[in-house]
Chains A and B, each alone.
Chain A
């Protein structure tokens, strides 16, 4: 009985909105663009792949396919970078004396909980033409002219890596902490080289963490909004930006709703595929303890 208020509340504030957004995606654009109106139509979903010409015929339009492709590929690059950066950190923390580890994990968690907007716009300063990176590069004579780093896909990826890195480090650490490093010692005793130990002993042992971390980075990164918005400067749109635009400047709520439904379906499919390995690592629970 005590669970009832929470369940009822979340049903109304999460379940109902999701149902409403599905409904909105199947209606028509309202006269002034705010909200929706009958009749029921699948036009918004047609728009994902086709453009309607003036005479009413359909022509294939790959604009939004490209948006989805951009979102997935930038998210994938972000995930790979996070993975490469996280393994050394996670394994290093796991090999510290047990009394150090909570503090080091806490150091990783602080940025994770601090304001993502602030952490993202900070890169507007960092990557600016007169910002610290360019000052260092020109000052040391590595480059003559300041590099234009901002408003590029690279800037977006840098921002996303900074935002999502803890999601990769923490689950890998959760796996690495459970790994008995005496097994690595045993491998050395049997004559294995370092690279072999890393590849054949340590990496397989932390695989559940890697799988969980990949999901925890990849899935939210596909729907990222702030990083492409602020650091990409609107030059490359990700699906989150297009959804925001449809609900604000472009005023096409049914189409924005259809994109939101698409993103939600992609997310749920990914979550269902991956939920078991994630639960096994206990990564999410550990994050919040």
Chain B
């Protein structure tokens, strides 16, 4: 394309989407480099952790050459393995339960008008609004008040709660994209409520459910503060383990664990991104 062709042509009635606007690209000089610098700053901490996980030096903050030794140590370490298994278990249970709760709520709140479900929306959004430190100590206080011993059970119960809104919002967004006519058509053809739910609503919701589940999984896997307070000594999760380690010293082994955690997050996120793309292609015109 020649430069002239890329410029918007004046006098021509522009379509709804408008021509590709190259002019504003030049409009704010310095914005492009600034954007790249900021993006680099966002990735700097991630890159540093990954790079230093291959550091040969025992002291992680001093670069001393390339080594894969720490990864083999990580896979051999029983504490790390236990913390990883704990984290994955909690995240798996929290994902399944929160998605079921969220999907039910999203479907129900779609059909009821707007008035009756104010409280429901407030309480579902609450984990996003209440500061994490407050939620952490409050949940701890409640478990102590009702005398439930802290452990994997308490931490799983807490994780389910803050995963619900993250599972809820993508499912709700997906529902909002669907047309009422689809359900009316199913009803006209004689399907009862249960059949509509099973054969129409759930299959159409599936991409929303999948991205909700992936987000819930990541959120559970990443949580530190709430796990720190309600997990109890016998049920250390991976971020709590990492925190305990870096309080002493940052070793390349911690960086290796963190790198693996980051890798898992990026894989799950990319899956969510791709699912989201297929969604918008199919539903939106």
Binding site for B on A (CB under 8 A): 1-7, 9-11, 13-18, 20-21, 23-24, 34-35, 85-86, 88-89, 91-93, 95, 97-98, 102, 106-111, 113-126, 128, 130-132, 162, 165-166, 169, 180-182, 184-185, 188, 194, 197-198, 219-220, 222-223, 225-226, 230, 240, 243-244, 247, 253, 256-257, 260, 263-264, 267-268, 271, 284-285, 288-289
Contacts and interface: CB of A to CB of B under 8 A. Distances in A.
B35 interface: yes
Q: Is the interface of A mostly helix, strand, loop or mixed?
A: helix
A260 B142 CA distance: 14
B277 A5 contact: no
Contacts of B24: 95, 181, 184-185
Nearest to B21: A181
Interface in B118-157: 119-120, 123-124, 126-135, 137-142, 144-145, 157
Interface of B: 8, 14, 17-18, 20-21, 23-25, 27-32, 34-35, 38-39, 41-46, 48-49, 52, 60-62, 100-102, 104-105, 107-109, 112, 117, 119-120, 123-124, 126-135, 137-142, 144-145, 157-158, 160-161, 164, 166, 168-170, 173, 211, 215, 218, 221-222, 224-225, 229, 239, 242-243, 246, 250, 258, 261-262, 265-266, 269, 273, 276-277
20 contacts: A6-B101, A13-B161, A14-B135, A17-B139, A23-B145, A88-B28, A88-B34, A102-B277, A108-B39, A113-B215, A114-B262, A115-B262, A119-B45, A125-B49, A165-B38, A185-B8, A194-B29, A225-B225, A244-B133, A253-B141
Contact of A119 (B18, B35, B46, B168): B46
Q: Is the interface of B mostly helix, strand, loop or mixed?
A: helix
A54 B135 CA distance: 34
Given A119-B46, A288-B169, A97 B131 contact: no
Given A10-B161, A13-B157, A260-B138, A118 B242 contact: yes
Nearest to A129: B61
